[in-house]
Amino acid sequence: MLLSEVMAQQTPLARVEPAWREWMERWPTPEVLAAASPADVVRAWGRLGYPRRALRLREAAIAIVERHGGEVPRAQDDLLSLPGIGDYTAAAVAAFAFGDRSVVVDTNVRRVEARLISGQEQAAPSLTRAEKDLARNLLPVVDHDAAVWNVAVMELGALVCTARAPRCPDCPVRGRCAWLLGGRPAYDGPARRGQKWHGTDRQVRGIIVQTLRDAHVPVDRGDLAPGRDEVQVDRCLAGLIEDGLVEPVGAHHFSLPGHDEAQAG
């Protein structure tokens, strides 16, 4: 559950499933993952995006082995103490892995509750305190009921109460939906900015990591992102090194972290 939740952050589930299956076959326990090399986990991450998550997962596995006897902890405070685990992931693992009462608020939950309770077409651009309080107040008191509620609201948002084409006639709570009863007013809140991709540092960082992932050996600086702006490549390379995703090998070559010294040649 911890692995799937981290993989699904900002990544469509259709892309997550094959990678999740590969990881579970290769590293079925925290102990096995903790023993893997950083380069192997970044390479196995493939094209899921945000490869720092792969390194944080390995670091979390190490912490689980060292602090919790190799078992994923149940308490949310313990989950939050693991590298790379934030509020949402800790709450989701507590709810879906252990059946505990926890406030799980993702994009789908926010949209459903904005429409159902607040009468707004979309939630605010970023999570607010009011949304957290609303989600907490709506959560059933009994652990099992709360876990079911979290799954139900997430599924409702993903399959019926979608962002662009909500299927209101099929909604099981359409008779209580403030947005629908109000005539489905258009969103009039702060502008929601789309994420750019082409030409961004994020794209160039991805190109560098993919080049090293495919190479399996240290790569010359000039071959990391051919045709890209040199200043941007240097900036992205420096950030990747600082994040622990890339290691210098000698003066002009680079590799994934924990490269095999024998391959450096």
Catalytic residue list: 5
Instruction: Give strand pairing partners of 254.
Output: 219, 248
Residue 249's nearest CA partner among 263, 235, 238 is 263
Note whether 182 and 203 are within 8 A (CB). no
Q: How far is CA 132 from CA 87, 121, 152, in A?
A: 11, 18, 17
Tokens of 170: 């099929």
For 86, the token pair is 């934030």
* Cα dihedral 14, 18, 19, 25 sign: positive
- Residue written as tokens 């490269």? 259
